[in-house]
Amino acid sequence: MTEVRQNRIQSFAFVIAASVCVLFSMVFVVSSLLTSGQSYEIELDQKINPNDAPVASLVRLPGIGIGKTRAIVAYRVEFCKQNGNKPAFQNPNDLQKVKGIGPKTIQNISEWLKFE
């Protein structure tokens, strides 16, 4: 009889433990669903100068993918060759000279740019 009683106690403990695990799992799922609706903004450590920033920095700008980044770098290299190392970009609007970059893109990235 003690063996039967011990088996019942172990079964009861197992059911309790499994229930607690399911309860904690549900709490974690609900909390992750509630926080998934939050929006996150891109944060940069410092402003980027498009006249000398590497590809890895430029690609972090919102709306600037690898294609636009390569176009910016190619434009500034060609501009410097033709104009004696004069900076290609004096202000954000100068970036519109690069194919694929328009006023909306400039508006989205201007706060992360600096020109020296």
pLDDT digits (tens, 9 = 90+) for 3-46: 888 888 888 888 888 888 787 777 777 776 666 555 445 455 68
d(CA 78, CA 67): 17
Residue with tokens 């970059």: 101
Query: What pLDDT does 35 receive?
Result: 62
Count Cα neighbours of 19 within 13 Å in the Cβ-side half-sphere. Answer: 6
Query: DSSP secondary-structure letter at 100?
Result: T
- Percent of the chain past pLDDT 70, that is, above it, reads 86
Does the pLDDT value for residue 71 go beyond 80? Answer: yes
Query: What pLDDT does 1 receive?
Result: 66
Query: DSSP secondary-structure letter at 88?
Result: S
Per-residue pLDDT, averaged over 100-106, amounts to 92
- Percent of the chain past pLDDT 90, that is, above it, reads 34
Query: What pLDDT does 73 receive?
Result: 93
User: 57: burial class by Cβ within 10 Å (0-12, 13-18, 19+)?
Assistant: middle
Query: What pLDDT does 20 receive?
Result: 85
